[in-house]
Amino acid sequence: MAETQPALQEQTTLAVHPMINDFSITVGTENGSGSQTSNLTILRALFKMGIPVSGKNIFPSNIQGLPTWYTIRVNKDGFLARREEQEIVIAMNPASFEKDLQEVVPGGAFFYADHIKQKINRQDIAIYPMPVKRLARESDAPSNLRNYVANMVYVGILAQNLGIDLDTTYQALNFHFKGRTKPIDLNFNVITAAIDWAAENLEKTDPYRVEPMDETKNYIMTDGNTAAALGSIYGGIQFVSWYPITPASSLPEGINHYLPILRQDPIQPDKNTFAVVQAEDELAAIGMAIGAGWAGLRSMTATSGPGLSLMAEYAGLANFAEVPVVVWDVQRAGPSTGLPTRTSQNDLIFTYFLGHGDTQNIILLPGSINECFEFGWRSFDIAERLQTIIFVLSDLDYGMNQWMALPFEYPDQPMDRGKVLWEEDIEKLKGDWGRYRDVDGDGIAYRTIMGNRHPSAAYFTRGTGHNEDARYTEEPEDWVNLLARLKKKHDNAPDILPKPVIQTMQGTEIGIIGFGSTEPAIQEARHNLAEEGVNTDFMRIRAIPFSPEVQTFIEEHPRNYVIEINRDGQMKQLLTLEYPELALNLISAAYFDGMPLTAKQVQGAIQSGEGK
Amino acid sequence: MTNTTTSRQVKINQIGLGKSEYKGNPTTLCKGCGHNSISSQIIAACYEMDLVPENIVKFSGIGCSSKSPTYFLNRSFGFNSLHGRMPSLATGALLADHSVKGIAVSGDGDTASIGMGQFKHVIRRNLSMVYIIENNGVYGLTKGQFSATAETGLKLKAQGTNPYMPIDIAWEALVGHATFVARSFAGDPKQVKEIIKAALHHDGIAVLDIISPCVTFNNKDESVHSYAWGKEHEVALHDLSYVPPAEDILVEYQPGEATAVTMHDGSKVFLKKLEQDYDPTDRAAAMHILEEANAKQWLLTGLIFISPEQPSMADIYRLPDTPLNRLPEDRLRPPRESIDKINDLMF
C-alpha cells in the first residue's frame, strides 16, 4: 500500500489528540442501504489489527431511507466510550451531508460520495471525494446489489488512507458472510479496487492513521444481547417466551439460534429440552414465562420499557405468589414509545417498584458484556433460590453494539435449583409441609412443582391472601405475616446478589457512583481527571437491593456523583430512599439525550461540582 | 370392585380411589349457582375415567367461575391467575410436564372480554387442555352490566339498549380453528359430564361453552332484589345482602330436541341439542349449523366439532419423554468443553 507523508505544515489544525490509533470516525449513510456490513467490516478489521476499538449504531426508528450513523472509536489506551469530537467523517447520504460536514473537527478529514453535489464551505479540513457510484458500477456486482456494495468503496478508501490491514479486512468479511466465498470476494474486490483508486488519485493531507498493536489478542467481540443469550443457555434455560421489541429482540433470537447448537440432548437427540415461544404480546409472554417458572422450568422473557409496562400485573403476581422467573429489560429512551433506537437507564424506579401494592423487586445491573453473559446464568440461580421475579437491566448501547470482551467463562458453580421438595422429600416429611412456611427463618419457604405425584404435594397458587399452607385467608394476622415475610426475603437478598465493584485512587473525597454501560465513560473521565490532579473513587453498583458496601462507600465520601442516563436521577433517588441520612452526600449527574455517555460529560459534572 | 365395610360400601374406581379423592373444598359460591353443578361433573368425570388426580392440573382466571377449581380435585396442583390471562400461564406450565392434563375454568368476561386475545391464541396453538367457560352472560346481564355475549338490541331497564354485536364463544372457538368445540347447560348434568369426558380424552384444546345461570343478579323489575329495585330504593348493590337460596335449574331433553329454559331472572334461553347422528368432524357444517341456530336465537348444545388429528403443542415442540421439569443439570447446562467452541464462534 502506498504511503503518503502527512503534510503537517499545511495544516491549520487545532487537533488536540495524537494522530495514531486515537480518533473517532463517523459514517453517515442511509439506513437499509447495507452500510451495516461495511461499518462492521471496518470495526472488525481494526480489532484484528490489535487496536482497541468500539462501534456504535446511531440509527433511526425506521426500516429504510432515513439517515443513520455509525461511530467508531479507535483508542490505543482502550478508552472506548463515545466522544463528542469526530476527526473523520464519511458522508454517503445527501440528506445528512450538511450536518455531517459540520461534524468534522478542524484539522480532520471529510470523505464524501462525489455524486453528492452540495457545497463544501470549509477550508480547515482535508477533503476526499470518492467516486462511489463509478467504482460500484465497475465492480462485478449484479445491478440489484450495486448500491449495497457501493458502501465497500468507502471501506477501501478509508483503509488506504488510514493504513487498515488488508488481511484483517478480509477476515472481517469472511466472518460476516460466514465463509461464503461469493459474497466475500464480491465485496473484497470492491474494496481493493477502491484502494487502488485512492492510492492513485488521493493525496493524504490529514494526520490520522492506524498501526498494528497487540492489545486485542485475548479478546472476543460481540454484543450484549448475544452475551446474555449465551449466558442464559449456560444457565440451563428451558423456556423463553417473548414479543419483538427494539432493542431486546436479538436476545431471545440469539437464544433461539444457539440452543440447537448448544443443547443437543445426549439421551434423545431428536427432541428439544427447551421451548421458545413467540407470544402474541407481552402480556402473554410474561404469563407463559411465569407459568413455566411455576411449573419448575428455568424460564425468562426479554423486553424493553413499553413491554415492561404491559408486564406489570403479572410481575406483581410472580413477586407475591413467589414464582421464579427472569425478565431482561434492554432499556431504551422512554417515557411511552419514546426513542425506540436510543439508549437509556430510565427504568430503574419503575422496575424496582413494579406491581401495585407494597412491592419491591430484585434488579441486576450488568456493567459489561462479560457481565451480560454471567448474569445470564446467575439470574436463574438467584430467581430459583429466592423464588421470585428477577429483573436484569441492560440497555441498547450494550445490547445492540459490538464490544470487546474477554472470552466467556464457564459458570463457576453448579446450578442452584433452590428449595424444592419432590416425592421423596414429601414422603420424608410424611406429608407435613406448607408452601409458604418459613421453616428456615430466612423468609424463603419450600415449594413443590406441578407434576409431583405425591398425594400431599399439590397446593393452590393464587394472587389473593394466603396463609402458610397456601389456603385462602382474609385474616389480618395472616396478611401481615405474609407481607412481612416477603419483605424479609427481599431485604436479605443482598447476601446472594452481586456486590458492587469498587476502585480507589489515593486520598480523595470524591466518589463516583455508576452502573451499567456508563463504565467506559466513567473510567476515561477518572483517568483524565487524575492527570489533572483530581483523584476519584468509583463504585459500580451491580444489584438492588443494595449491599452494605454501598452504604459504606457513600459514608466514606463527602461528595458522591451519581452518574446515570435518565432525567430524574433514578439511582440517586433509590439511594436517597434507602439511606436518607446520607442524601446530602449524593450529587446527581444525569444525562438523558438518548446518546451514550461521554467522558467529557462525566468530567464536566465533577469539575463543576467541585467548583473547578 | 367395591370394598365392604361393616356399615356401608364405599365405592372405588379402577385405580382404587373413592369419589372423595376427587373433591375439593366446600364451595363458597351461591346455592343454586350453575358453576357448582359443573364442578360436580368434573369430579364425576375424573372419578369415572379413573384419572389420577396428581396427573391433572387446574387453571383459572379471575371471577366467580375462576374460584371453582378450589372446589374440585384438591390433590391436583392449581393456579388461580389473572383476569383474562390464564391461557398464557397454562401454556408455560403445561410444557413443563406434558404428561399432566390441564383443566382450565374461565367465565364469559374472563374469556370473551378481557381474555379475548389469549383465548384466540391458545386455540391457535392447540394447547392440550380442557378449557371450560362457565358462561352466565348469555342472557345478557351480569352484575348490572352487559356481557360481551349480549345480543344486539337487548334492553335492560337500568342500562338501556345494547348497541353492539354479540360474541358467541363457541363460534369464536370454531372460527379460531379449535380442534374440539362443545356447548352445554349446567342444568343438564348428564350432557355436561359427557362432554367433559370427551374433552379429557382429546389431545388438543377442548373448548366447552357451558351456560351456567347466575342466581344473584336478578334483573326482573318485579323481583324484590333486582338491580332495578335496588336503584329505585337507593340500595347500593353491595347492600343487597340477602341472596335468596335458589335451586339448580335442571333440564332434560333429547338429542334433536329444543327446549326453553327460564333463568332465575325470568329471561329465557332456548337450547337445541344436536341430533344423535350429527357428524362433528365437518367444520363447514358446524359453522353452518351454529349460524342457523344463532339466527333463531337458539343455543346449540352437544359436541359441535372435533378434529383429533391436529398436532398439539407438545407435539410441535418435540419434547423429550422425561418431563422438562425433571431434567437433570447435565441435560440442561452445556458441557464445559463447549465454552471454547462458543468463544470461537464470536469474532
Report the residue from A280, A290, A450 with minimal CB separation from B100: A450
Q: How far is B317 from chain A (nearest CA, A)?
A: 6
**Predicted confidence band at B260 (pLDDT cuts at 50, 70, 90)?**
confident
- What percentage of residues in chain B have a pLDDT greater than 70? 85
C-alpha cell at B189: 348434568
Each residue's pLDDT tens digit, A289-303: 999 999 999 999 999
Please give the backbone phi and psi of residue A69, each rounded to the nearest 5 degrees, phi first.
-130, 150
Q: How far is B274 from chain A (nearest CA, A)?
A: 35
Nearest CA in chain B to A173: B347
- Helices A146-162 & A181-201 angle (0-180, nearest 10): 50
**Predicted confidence band at B158 (pLDDT cuts at 50, 70, 90)?**
low
* pLDDT of res. B242: 52
Q: What is the dihedral of CA A312, A314, A319, A320, to 10 degrees?
A: 110
Distances from the Cα of A206 to the Cα of A19, A51, A71, A163, angstroms: 9, 20, 19, 13
**Residue with grid cell 338501556, as numbered in its chain:** B160
Query: Residue length, chain A?
Result: 612
CB A322 within 8 A of CB A436: yes
Structure pTM? 0.94
A498-501 LR contacts (CB < 8 Å, sep 24+)? A498/A364, A498/A371, A498/A375, A498/A378, A498/A542, A498/A543, A499/A542, A499/A543, A499/A547, A499/A549, A500/A539, A500/A540, A500/A541, A500/A542, A500/A547, A500/A549, A500/A550, A500/A553, A501/A367, A501/A539, A501/A540, A501/A542
Inter-chain CB proximity B95 and A265 less than 8 Å? no
Each residue's pLDDT tens digit, B60-75: 999 889 999 999 999 9
Report the residue from B70, B94, B100 with minimal CB separation from A460: B70
A interface test, pick of B119, B324, B336 with most A CB neighbours within 10 Å: B324
* Pairwise CA distance, residues B172 & B287, whole Å: 10
Query: Residue length, chain B?
Result: 347
* pLDDT of res. B265: 67
CB A437 within 8 A of CB A446: yes
| DSSP result, A247-286 | TTTHHHHHHHHHHHHH---SS-TTS-S-EEEE-SSHHHHH
Element (H, E) at A586: strand A586-590
Is the model's pLDDT at B230 over the cut of 80?
no
* pLDDT of res. B237: 39
C-alpha cell at A248: 431486546
* Bridge partner list, A22: A75
Inter-chain CB proximity A275 and B324 less than 8 Å? yes
Residue numbers in chain A where pLDDT is lower than 70:
1-18
* pLDDT of res. B160: 75
User: Among residues B192, B193, B212, B177, which one has the least CA distance to residue B29?
Assistant: B212
- Classify each residue of A561-582 as buried b or exposed e, where b means 16 or more C-beta atoms within 10 Å of its C-beta: bbbbbbeebbbbbbbbeebeeb
* pLDDT of res. A470: 97
Q: How many CB pairs under 8 A join A and B?
A: 221
Q: How far is A449 from chain B (nearest CA, A)?
A: 8
* pLDDT of res. A441: 96
Contact list, B334 vs chain A (CB under 8 Å): 233-234, 262-263
Inter-chain CB proximity A461 and B69 less than 8 Å? no
B289: number of Cβ within 10 Å: 18
* pLDDT of res. B299: 84
Each residue's pLDDT tens digit, B1-22: 455 555 567 899 999 999 999 9
Q: Please enumerate in sequence order all residues whose Cβ is within 8 A of that of B51, keeping only pairs 6 or more positions apart, or say none.
A: B101, B200
Is the model's pLDDT at B287 over the cut of 70?
yes
* pLDDT of res. B236: 38
Amino acid in the structure at residue B90? A
* pLDDT of res. B144: 56
Is the model's pLDDT at B233 over the cut of 50?
no
Half-sphere exposure of A503 (CA within 13 A, CB side): 12
Q: Is the ipTM of this complex over 0.85?
A: yes
Query: Which of B:111-140 have CB within 8 Å of A?
Result: 117-118, 121
* B285 inside 8 A of chain A by CB: no
C-alpha cell at A16: 488536540
Q: Is A200 helix (H, G, I), strand (E, B) or coil?
A: helix
Inter-chain CB proximity A284 and B117 less than 8 Å? yes
* pLDDT of res. B161: 81
Inter-chain CB proximity B52 and A275 less than 8 Å? no
Beta strand A86-91 with A22-30 is parallel
**Residue with grid cell 365437518, as numbered in its chain:** B282
Stretch B162-179: mean pLDDT: 93
Contact list, B118 vs chain A (CB under 8 Å): 280, 283-284, 287
* pLDDT of res. B243: 55
* pLDDT of res. A490: 98
* pLDDT of res. A209: 95
* pLDDT of res. B140: 35
Q: How far is A447 from chain B (nearest CA, A)?
A: 12
Inter-chain CB proximity B332 and A415 less than 8 Å? yes
* pLDDT of res. B231: 43
Q: How far is A75 from chain B (nearest CA, A)?
A: 19
* B339 inside 8 A of chain A by CB: yes
Inter-chain CB proximity A267 and B331 less than 8 Å? yes
* B69 inside 8 A of chain A by CB: yes
C-alpha cell at A543: 444489584
C-alpha cell at B153: 338490541
Nearest CA in chain A to B25: A471
CB A90 within 8 A of CB A111: yes
| DSSP result, B98-156 | TTSEEEEEEEHHHHHTTTHHHHHHHHHTT-SEEEEEEE--TTS-BTTB--TTPPTT-EE
Tell me, what DSSP letter sits at residue B238?
G
* Pairwise CA distance, residues B118 & A313, whole Å: 15
* Pairwise CA distance, residues B323 & B325, whole Å: 5
* B56 inside 8 A of chain A by CB: no
- End-to-end alpha carbon distance in chain A: 48
User: Among residues A286, A289, A324, A320, which one has the least CA distance to residue A420?
Assistant: A324
Each residue's pLDDT tens digit, A217-267: 999 999 999 999 999 999 999 999 999 999 999 999 999 999 999 999 999
Is the model's pLDDT at B115 over the cut of 50?
yes
* pLDDT of res. B272: 87
Nearest CA in chain A to B332: A236
Q: Is A421 helix (H, G, I), strand (E, B) or coil?
A: coil
* pLDDT of res. A16: 45
Q: How far is A222 from chain B (nearest CA, A)?
A: 6
Inter-chain CB proximity B92 and A274 less than 8 Å? no
